[in-house]
Amino acid sequence: MAPAQELPPETEAEPLGDAADKSRVTVVGSGNWGSVAAKLIASNTLRLPSFHDEVRMWVFEEILPSGEKLTDVINSTNENVKYLPGIKLGNNVVADPDLENAVKDANMLVFVTPHQFMEGICKRLVGKVKEGMEAISLIKGMEVKMEGPCMISSLISEQLGINCCVLMGANIANEIAVEKFSEATVGYRENRDIAEKWVQLFSTSYFMVSPVQDVEGVELCGTLKNVVAIAAGFVDGLEMGNNTKAAIMRIGLREMKAFSKLLFPSVKDTTFFESCGVADLITTCLGGRNRKVAEAFAKNGGKRSFDELEAEMLQGQKLQGVSTARELYEVLSHRGWLELFPLFATVHEISTGRLPPSAIVEYNR
């Protein structure tokens, strides 16, 4: 395992006293959105006295075509040249390839990795996080277990024994990276003060964050909209037009709301009108990676797999919509709900080749 990056000299000697009360933040993940999250957070830890300046960012180590390690390049250039090229993260961001070392001093963890990796990451962190740790998940997806679906925030809370909020919203990472105005929603359970601390940590003049007491609602919006975006991509690939796409988005929002409330009756109707709901659905169906790859899938008549297209088009980034559609289909099938959610079911059946892309508008609505 590669040694952790040494702290720059100016951060080695923290003054005693108030420093002990300052929060230390680690970002677990360093892809496109993870790098943008680190940039947002790092700009705030420098100016807010309640946080240590340094932000650790755990990086899954990769060797670049140049032969250099990704962590070394991030630390020498202050830039994630693979996943967020051309954007400076902040001199106080330190990339660390050692997961346990990256989290050992933190008392606030920001999880932002593809959802399919989270169970393994949590297992590695059991017993390695500080008591009283607070976490937030920016991850869109769910784990499906024998006993039913498990949201990623619940997985984190249960495996690590810590409270976990969520942050979701209309957040295409490359637009936030260049500081175009955007919004997001923090979902929290009971402690409004913790939610406000996360709001403070993420908010900037161009990134407006609002708290909502509805973790499941916020998280399910962020998860399910990727499935609808796959459907929107099919429509684009088949050149069906804007009316059809709008209809698919409306039907998708209806199914998102119905599924969320069936699974968690506590989910609030108003959550779907926050940034995490209708706004995130719109932006993902217009410009996200799930829509983009689904469009290519439909243009090829479903003859090239999503795995092949993902590898070709996303430079190492991962699709969430296809795996979420599969997990969703398992839940719907197990509970006898397939007929209640025809759009969700059809997306999975097209993605796996059981139906042609044109079936996106042929199911019984």
Residue 257 appears among annotated catalytic residues: no
State the pairing for strand pair 51-58/182-187. Answer: unpaired
Q: Known binder of ligand: residue 300?
A: no
CA atoms within 13 A on the CB side of 122: 23
Give the whole-angstrom CA distance, residue 176 versus residue 265. Answer: 33
The dihedral built from the CA positions of residue 99, 195, 90 and 29, taken in this order, carries a sign that is: positive
Give the whole-angstrom CA distance, residue 329 versus residue 344. Answer: 7
What are the beta bridge partners of residue 167?
A: 186
Q: Known binder of ligand: residue 32?
A: yes
What are the beta bridge partners of residue 23?
A: 51
Other Cβ atoms closer than 10 A to 19:
10
Reduced DSSP (H G I as helix, E B as strand, rest coil) percent helix, strand, coil of the chain, to 5:
50, 15, 35
Q: What is the DSSP string of 68-134?
A: -BHHHHHHHHSB-TTTSTT-B--TTEEEES-HHHHHTT-SEEEE-S-GGGHHHHHHHHTTTS-TT-E
Q: 129 with 108: CB under 8 angstroms?
A: no
In the numeric block, which tokens belong to residue 42? 């790092």
Phi then psi for residue 322, to 5 deg, are -70, -45
Q: Known binder of ligand: residue 173?
A: yes
- Where does residue 311 rank: exposed (0-12), middle (13-18), buried (19+ CB within 10 A)? exposed
User: Distance between the two ends of the chain, CA-based, in angstroms?
Assistant: 53
Q: Known binder of ligand: residue 33?
A: yes
- Catalytic option among 82, 197, 225, 292: 225
Q: Known binder of ligand: residue 31?
A: yes
Q: Known binder of ligand: residue 117?
A: yes
Secondary structure (3-state) at 263: helix
Going by the annotation, the residues of the binding site for substrate are: 140, 289-290
Going by the annotation, the residues of the binding site are: 29-34, 60, 117, 140, 173, 289-290, 318, 320
**Which residues are part of the catalytic machinery?**
225
